[in-house]
Structure formats: C-alpha cells, structure tokens
Amino acid sequence: MKTSVAIIGAGPAGLLLAHLLASQGIDVVVVERRSRAHCESRVRAGVLEQGTVDTLTAAGVGERMRAEGHVHHGIELRFGGEGHRIAFDELVPGRAITVYGQQEVVKDLVAANLAAGVDLRFEVEDVAIGGLDTDPWLAFGGERLDCDFIAGCDGFHGISREAVAPHLAVFEKTYPFAWLGILADVAPSAPELVYAASERGFSLHSMRSDTVSRFYLQVPPETAPEDWSEDAIWAELKARHETVPGFTLATGPITAVDVAAMRSFVAEPMRFGRLLLAGDAAHIVPPTGAKGLNLAVADVRVLARALGEHYRTGADGLLDAYSATCLKRVWRAQHFSWWMTTLLHRFDGADAYDRRLQRSHLEFTARSKAQATALAENYVGLPYED
C-alpha cells in the first residue's frame, strides 16, 4: 500500500490533520488502535479557544459546535469567600471560549473525514514504524503502508515519540497532586467556569451541556477513583465551592469518575526526518489552563500548511520551520498552565510565607486590569501568527 501521509492516532489532532490535508487533495491514511465508538465517547477536554473555534469553522466542521456549544465570555476565580469574574468581553473584546466536549469534536471530524472518503482504520493492532530518515513506512495486520511522511498524533503513550526518543530532548515537571474528574447528570450551578482555591485544595466547576456538569477536585497523586464515594465527592465539592454568599451547588447522579495526573512535558524537536509529532505526542500541559486540545489544533494548523506547501510547490520552508514554529506557542502555553496551576492549588509543605504570597498573587490578579488581561488573553488563546 502507498499513501502520501500516514497518520497515527484518531484523536482531534490526527482527524483534523487528515481533514485539512484531504481538503487540499493530499492522500492520507489514519490508523487508530481503539474502536471508533471509544474515540467518539471518551470524555476529555471541553474548552475551545477562539482560534480553535475559528479553525474548525473554517474547515467546515463547526456547524454542530456553533449550534450546541456554549460560548463563555469570562471565568470566575473564587477565593477568600468572594468570586472575581475575569471578563473576556471587556479585557479581550471579540474573543471568547466555547465549551464543547472533545468527544463531540471527534464525532464531527470522523463524520467529515468519512464523507470525504478518507481512509480511517480503527482497531488496528501491532503498529510498527520505520524508515524515518528517507523512506517511512507503517506495518500493521500483516500489511505494510509506504508513505512520504508519518504524522505522530497518537498521544503521550503512543509509539511515535518512543520511536525517536534517543534523538529528543525532554523537559518535564510532575506536580505533587492529581485531579479527580467527575461527570454528573446535573445542570450547571454557574453560568461560567468557576476556579475555586481554598485551604482544602483546588476545585473546578465546569459543564458539558445544559444537563451535564464536569467537576475536578485536587487530590493526592496516588488517588484511585474507587477511593471516593458519591456522597464524599459531593460533600467535598460543596465544601470547596459553597464559599460565597448565595451559591448552592446542585447535585445529581455521577456517571463517571477518573483521575488525571498533573504533569508538564515537552519533547524537542517535534520533527525527526520524515516523522512529525503533533499534540500530546510532543507535549503535555496540566489541564488548569485548558490548553491541551487547543495546542494540538495549533500544531495541526502549522503542519497542514507546511505539508500543503510541500505537495503544492515542492518548497519545504514551512516544514523545516515546523518544530520551531509550534514550540514558540507550546512554551507560552506551558508557562500559562504552570502559572494557573501554582496560582490556584494547595501545595502540601508550603510554609506560611508561601501561602500568603499565593493569596497576594490571587488578589492582584483579581483587582489589576493588566494582570487580569494577561490571564484573559492567554486563556482565550493568543492569535495565530498567520
């Protein structure tokens, strides 16, 4: 078999790249080890930056997102018994976030790719890669797929980065806590996301729809989902969120509980020979800044333009600059995610000085227009360079 670009991974990065390349007439094959049903039901990120929304819309896959997604023009920082709104509509006019689940983005992209005749192969096992210097190939199911390029969009635990690990520089940080993620069939108790900092630890109130809410609790890193009963989860969420007058957290049936590790990770460069890494395969951020999915989309925008130039004109300037171009945005997002994480979480072992310093930083962010603007412009997503 032969194709132009072989894409490993049918998450948002791989599917969007396939769609953008196919729309330019570039032949692609996507391989994914999980089932289509799994990919379309896996609940992950749900906050889309303005640039992500614009990209999906321009790619022709934004109709359902615009109809069903929730546009938010601010977030709330809650601490010290008060709520402080960071007003995107005032600080960064014309830019907002849209709450629309990753699984819904995947559904839209799968449908668009199938409608365009893109070769999507789910439940593909034992994928191997080789020839990355000059003649790349994938092997799976007793078949071999020769290609011009391989796009590694297979996430943090995929085979793509591992295949070139000796050639990469790795930068990483592990945080001394995790997030307990809770999905519940209950209407949101607030119109926008609430980031709550307290002596009990951090908590986030988010939503997926008018009837489904998503919550996160800061927990010890060794926590397992079964460590928390439903009653204990609601009691702790109430203790961390019902800290301002008049606010009551609505409760309902909990449908899913998971634990997410908190880490920062970057592998450089994002290209080795004919292998190009994108999304979580190259970098991870703690979810506090809501940047993971959005960084994947930013990578794919750059990569699709670079490969388009290669096949259209034979020029490789954009391909040669791919890693450096993406990493500028990646490191900005790394800093913002680290900043949000250290601003809002309780660190065991922090002394009285550190705790007072953290509170001072929170208060300054809430009252300083300049600081709030910096938070807002990073949160909604910095404009793309193109």
Tell me how far apart the alpha carbons of residues 337 and 321 are, in angstroms, rounded to a whole number. 25
Q: Are 31 and 153 in contact (CB under 8 A)?
A: no
DSSP per-residue string spanning 250-300 = ----EEEEEEEEEEEEEEE-SEETTEEE-GGGTEE--GGG--HHHHHHHHH
Strand partners of residue 312: none
Active site residues: 72, 195, 287, 291, 379
Tell me how far apart the alpha carbons of residues 88 and 1 are, in angstroms, rounded to a whole number. 50
Q: Would you tell me the crossing angle of helices 322-344 and 369-380 to the nearest 10 degrees? A: 130
Tell me how far apart the alpha carbons of residues 264 and 287 are, in angstroms, rounded to a whole number. 10
Tell me how far apart the alpha carbons of residues 241 and 171 are, in angstroms, rounded to a whole number. 34
Strand partners of residue 257: 182
Residue partners of 11: CB distance under 8 A and separation at least 6: 39, 102, 106, 153, 154, 155, 279, 280, 296
Tell me how far apart the alpha carbons of residues 145 and 157 are, in angstroms, rounded to a whole number. 22
Strand partners of residue 83: 78
Contacts of range 83-91, beta carbons closer than 8 Å, 24 or more positions apart: 83/194, 83/244, 83/247, 84/365, 84/366, 85/192, 86/372, 86/375, 86/376, 86/379, 87/372, 87/376, 88/376, 88/379, 88/380, 91/369, 91/372, 91/373, 91/376, 91/377
- Cβ-in-10-Å burial (0-12, 13-18, 19+) of 356 comes to exposed
Least Cα distance to 298 among 21, 60, 48 occurs for 48
**Which pair of tokens denotes residue 187?**
């209407």
Least Cα distance to 210 among 182, 192, 187 occurs for 187
Count CB-CB contacts under 10 A for residue 200: 14
